[in-house]
Amino acid sequence: MDSQLKIGFIGAGNMAFGIAKGILTGNVLPANVKVSAPSSRNLGRFQELGIAVTHSNIEVVCGSDVVFVAVKPHLVPLVLKEVTQHVTGRHMIVSVAAGVTLATLEELLPENSVAIRLMPNLPCLVQEGALLFARGSHAKQEDGALLRSLLHRCGLVEEGPEAWIDIHTGLSGSGVAFVYLFAEALAEGAVKMGMPSALAHSIASQTVLGAGRLLRDSGKHPAQLRSEVCTPGGTTIYGLHTLEQGGVRASTMSAVESATERARELGRKSTAGSRK
- Does 194 carry a binding-site annotation? no
Facing residues of 7 across strands?
33, 66
- Does 73 carry a binding-site annotation? yes
- Does 10 carry a binding-site annotation? yes
- Does 71 carry a binding-site annotation? yes
- Does 87 carry a binding-site annotation? no
Backbone angles phi, psi at 66, to 5 degrees: -115, 125
d(CA 129, CA 123): 5
CA-atom Rg of the chain in angstroms: 21
- Does 79 carry a binding-site annotation? no
CB 34 within 8 A of CB 53: yes
Question: Taking the CB of residue 54, how many other CB atoms lie within 10 A of it?
Answer: 15
Instruction: Express the helix, strand and coil content of the chain in percent, nearest 5 each.
Output: 60, 15, 30
CB 30 within 8 A of CB 49: yes
- Does 112 carry a binding-site annotation? no
- Does 273 carry a binding-site annotation? no
Of all helices (H) and strands (E), which one includes residue 183?
helix 175-192
For 74-228, where are the E strands, in sequence order? 92-95, 114-119, 129-135, 155-159
- Does 15 carry a binding-site annotation? yes
Annotated binding site: 10-15, 57, 70-73
Positions at the binding site for NADPH: 57
Annotated binding site for NADP(+): 10-15, 70-73
